[in-house]
A and B are shown apart, each in its own frame.
Chain A
Amino acid sequence: MTAITGLRRILRDAAPWVAAALCLEIGIRYLWPLQLEAALADKATSERLAGVVPNESVLRAKTDSLAKDSIRLGSRLALAKSRQIEGPDPAAILASRVVPLLAERGWKLDRVKAQASQGVAELDIGASAPFGQALQGLEDIRMMPFSVKVRKLSLRPGPSGRLAVDLLISVPARGTP
């Protein structure tokens, strides 16, 4: 009976220390390092993300600005496209638009030569017209919905009181397959 009581006392007195040692062993060797490691990894990730992830309002403002820019650029691009000749044979299209226009203005066309190269359709015209109609024809060409560039123009006295007109114009072109 005394031995049992003695053993019980020993167990009772030792139990807290054994439990403490066990807890320390589990805590220090396994549990706490795992917790600390996970926490530090999360901390590093959140800090990295905090530095990387942009502010939503700033980003939204930037997106809005870019969208507005895109719309503006799109309209400019549409305008630019509309001022180009588009088609499989831009030079022929240019000639088909200009020649009737000048003919209506009373230009007597002697020579029409159209060619396209390197994104540009060129039209070389040799004609005769009275001074006023020559100017009207030039104005009509300018009023066409294309970006017309006058490379060369010469006016000189021609037959029957008319002016001999040599005109070389070019318009940006986009070929389609």
Chain B
Amino acid sequence: MKRILDLLLGRPRVALSPSRLLTGEVTTPYGVLPSDEAVANAWRIEAGDRECPPWLILGRRDAPSGSIWRLAWCPAATTLPPQAEIVLPEAAWALERLNDLSGPDGWHLRSLESPFGYWIGLWEGSRCEHLQAPGRDRNEAVRLERIHAARLGADHPPEILGEWAPPNALKLAEVAEDSPESDLLGTADSIVRHERRSDATALARLTGVVVLFGLVTGLFGAFQFFHSRQRRLQEARLEAVKPLVERTANLEAARKRQIDSLRAFREALRPSQAPGIVISRIASKVSGDARLTALAMEEKPDGWRMRTEAHLADWSAIQPFSESIRSVPGVSKASVSNQSRQAESISAMLDIEGVWP
């Protein structure tokens, strides 16, 4: 992921490579960085008429003559890594790690154990005076560095141990940016690799644009598909229940028609009225010497009404007779509306009301 991001951002890949380490110094006017030409001159003085290798600045010391820059030339020691646009000498990273240590103000040694050897250098305060190429024999390296220190007037300088950390891509990129002169790649190789990297970056960016466009379109498409599917589901649900809805509507309409018809036919559902039963029940209450001579019956909204004439033996029979009529099931009211003597009997007109059995 990090590599893809670096590619998209157009960051060059920075790698480390073993190199030899040849130290030297260049003096410049106070505070002025050493130019390529000055370093090349210094190299010619040291190594003759050979091409000046990449170099890195170890430290700077100000003197009355100007700024004296301690340098390390780093000719490549092996084949350079092919998949990198910038190749730094391992010494550049080791120097970075050693410079990160905090030491005393005076002379001291800084040492660091790395996977590619044992680094040791001579520092005065925070300024690096000398850095050895990495060696396998720690004691020998310390001994050589102490000799070097003694030559500069420092007896038995203390040693500070540093802690190795694997090369950090971001930090390496910073180092490469700060010291472009230490790139081990030749100019031609560097241009070719940078071109290749730029092509890859452009292709990656194009792919990224297409992927991003596809991703956004795909997300909208997924959103669209989801809701389209939801709609189809609801439509399918509607289709599934449509016959049921129609059947329900038909049944409701039919039910309404049936209820209307029943309402119209409600009279037909009432049981037949039974005047015979009513008359039988009333007649059963007529005792021996009493008799009913006439009756007239008619319906009323909640039952029936009857008027009958009873002939009874004497006056005292009227009340028990009307009481007995009241006890007939279905009779709700029985009253004597008129009573009179007729020949040998008493005539009583009874108004009776009741409900149909």
A12 CB to closest chain B CB (Å) equals: 4
* Chain B residues in 8 Å Cβ range of A150: 273, 275, 297, 299, 304
In the docked arrangement, what's the CA distance between A9 and B197, Å?
12
Tell whether A63 pairs with B244 under 8 Å between CB atoms, given A9-B198, A46-B227, A139-B274: yes
**Cross-chain contact B228 with A39 (CB below 8 angstroms):** yes
Contact of B231 (CB < 8 Å), options: A12, A32, A42, A62: A42
* Residues of chain A whose beta carbon lies under 8 Å from any beta carbon of chain B: 9, 12-13, 15-16, 19-20, 23, 27, 31-32, 35-36, 38-40, 42-43, 45-46, 49-50, 52-54, 56, 59-60, 62-63, 66-67, 69-70, 73-74, 76-77, 79-81, 83-84, 119-120, 131, 134-139, 141-144, 146-157, 172
**Cross-chain contact B297 with A153 (CB below 8 angstroms):** yes
**Cross-chain contact A138 with B252 (CB below 8 angstroms):** no
Q: Taking the complex as formed, is B323 at the interface, i.e. its CB lies under 8 A from any CB of chain A?
A: no
**Cross-chain contact B230 with A43 (CB below 8 angstroms):** yes
Tell whether A13 pairs with B202 under 8 Å between CB atoms, given A149-B273, A150-B273: yes
Chain A binding surface SS class? helix
In the docked arrangement, what's the CA distance between A73 and B247, Å?
17
Known: A12-B199, A16-B208, A16-B209. 10 other contacts (CB 8 A): A39-B223, A43-B231, A59-B244, A67-B251, A76-B258, A77-B258, A83-B268, A146-B268, A148-B273, A154-B297
Tell whether A138 pairs with B268 under 8 Å between CB atoms, given A27-B217, A46-B234: no
* Chain B residues in 8 Å Cβ range of A32: 216-217, 220
* Chain B residues in 8 Å Cβ range of A156: 293-296
Chain B binding surface SS class? helix
* Chain A residues in 8 Å Cβ range of B297: 150, 152-154
**Cross-chain contact A149 with B267 (CB below 8 angstroms):** yes
**Cross-chain contact B252 with A66 (CB below 8 angstroms):** yes
With both beta carbons as reference points, the residue of chain A lying nearest to B276 in the complex is identified as A138
In the docked arrangement, what's the CA distance between A139 and B357, Å?
12
**Cross-chain contact B220 with A147 (CB below 8 angstroms):** no
**Cross-chain contact A66 with B265 (CB below 8 angstroms):** no
With both beta carbons as reference points, the residue of chain A lying nearest to B237 in the complex is identified as A53
A-B residue pairs, 10 tightest by C-beta: A16-B205, A138-B276, A49-B234, A80-B265, A66-B251, A42-B227, A23-B213, A35-B220, A156-B294, A73-B258
* Chain B residues in 8 Å Cβ range of A73: 255, 258-259, 262
* Chain B residues in 8 Å Cβ range of A141: 272
* Chain B residues in 8 Å Cβ range of A136: 276
